[in-house]
Chain A
Amino acid sequence: MPNSNLNPQDSKDLLACHECDSLYRLPSLEGRTLARCERCGSVLARGDANSIDNTLAYTLAALVFFTIANAYPILGLRVAGQEQFYTLLSGATALAKFDLLAVGIVVFLTTIFFPLLIMIGLLYVLIPLRTGRVPRYFIPIFKFTLALLPWGMVGVYMLGVLVAIVKLADLATVVPGWGLYALFSLLLVTVAAAATLNPRVIWQTSDILSSGQKDSLFDNNSKDNAQYISKPESL
């Protein structure tokens, strides 16, 4: 049953489930409301209250913790009077010493380079959007940042550090460094940033700004169109 009332002009509030392709017209989502697909149960969209502000704040915090985590040693090992420290970077370069350059590069990319690029990309996009303008090269840079998201693996790395601590406990005394606390904090704010990041809202914001309807943005009092609907209206 092809729908005659679908025209490209009003397709901005249409949403297709990316897991089962069901088509929906999305109601405005209040607060932290989730819209789930009726058919397959995947999350279609989340409420958009302050999403840009939150992601921006967590990303700024992440950048601070990232700097500390890289500047100070993560762990030290004390055995028979000798002390051995390692930093995030030396974890990646150590593999290169043993002819495993490829693995070293993967570790460097997923734990240092990609997380850094993701943070820079988000700040580059979100700060101008928050102040009401669309940054230069918004589309390619935001697309690139979104594509990198799954390849930042700070959380997995943190689990690796914890396993290493327990594993080495019987071999020598393990000394936690400042980098370890920073890494753990980085993990927390990264998770928070990822949880609040709402690409749908960011695309919409840039759409609205580009079309010059700036006034309708960041106006938290305009709640007339808010409906407490957690289930989207199917077409």
Chain B
Amino acid sequence: MSINSKKVQVISARKAGMASCHVCHLVVSLESIKQNNICTRCHSPIHSRKVDSISRTWALVVTAIILYIPANLYPIMTLTKLGQGEPNTIISGVMHLIHSGMWPLALIVFVASIIVPVGKLLVLMYLLMTVQNRSYNHPKDRTTLYRILELFGHWSMVDVFLVSILVALVDLGFIATIEPGVGVLYFGAVVITTLFASRAFDPRLIWDVIDDDLG
């Protein structure tokens, strides 16, 4: 309903019997590539929409949620200072930074390791559910949400990189060593799974409902 009032006169490529190549964005008519369904320019397979987008995205989202549990339960690194070990999970690492007064740092780690992955999974679930319910509401805002996901998703990797840097750098024998924990393995898996999840989602599905009903 909101879209009609704005009077945006567009026709979708699918309605025009065309599809754009996922790789080189060439618009080809589906009629002309009937035989083999590959792009006439870059020879990639042509699909009007990403294949099985909804079920693949759901599968990856659920996988990421499951992996996120051990990622938070197991320590991501252990700092051993003068013989005393101190394992840190993602959350206790953030708390530790707050207690030692490093607010900006705590904020960076908190945003990158908790807000971004959790927010990403919540937004993807919201997008999936609204598409499955054939929602008409706020298609433009939902597309913007998706665009933001694609833009910031990979910044969660900062925690994985941080652990790798600290482990390589802080290797000072008895004075101080940092050892990685298995939590970083699960967290890295979460980040990579969510990256694949957001790429599996096809934002054009948001608009298909509206295009279908416009006839």
The residues of A with any CB-CB pair to B shorter than 8 Å are: 1-3, 6-8, 11-12, 14-16, 18-24, 38-42, 74-75, 77, 79-80, 82, 84, 86, 90-95, 98, 100, 102-104, 106-107, 110-111, 139, 142-143, 146-147, 150, 153, 156-157, 159-161, 163-164, 166-168, 170-172, 199-200, 203, 207, 234-235
Contact = CB atoms under 8 A, between A and B. Distances in A.
20 contacts: A1-B15, A16-B18, A20-B204, A75-B169, A77-B170, A82-B173, A84-B171, A94-B164, A94-B167, A98-B180, A100-B180, A102-B188, A103-B160, A106-B192, A107-B164, A143-B23, A160-B161, A164-B169, A171-B170, A203-B26
Interface magnitude class on chain B: 35 or more
Contact of A102 (B24, B29, B81, B185): B185
Contacts of B146: 19
B162 to A, nearest CB: 4
Nearest to B40: A8
A166 to B, nearest CB: 5
Contacts of B175: 79-80, 82
B61 interface: no
Nearest to A11: B27
Contacts of B18: 6, 11, 14, 16, 23
A74 B153 CA distance: 26
Contact of A90 (B13, B97, B166, B168): B168
A188 to B, nearest CB: 17
B59 interface: no
A1 B11 contact: yes
B41 interface: yes
Contacts of B24: 143, 199, 203
Interface of B: 8-20, 23-29, 32, 41-44, 81, 97, 100, 102, 104-105, 108-109, 112, 139-140, 143-144, 146-147, 154-155, 157-173, 175-176, 179-180, 182, 184-185, 188, 192, 195, 199, 203-204, 206-208, 211
A23 B8 CA distance: 12
Nearest to A207: B41
Contacts of A24: 10
Given A111-B161, A166-B102, A167-B105, A234 B167 contact: no
Given A1-B15, A86-B168, 10 more contacts: A20-B139, A40-B140, A95-B163, A95-B164, A98-B179, A100-B180, A100-B185, A103-B164, A156-B155, A160-B162
Contacts of B112: 159
A32 B104 CA distance: 36
B207 A21 contact: yes
Given A168-B166, A200-B25, A41 B140 contact: yes
B143 A40 contact: yes
Given A3-B16, A153-B154, A8 B185 contact: no
A12 B102 CA distance: 54
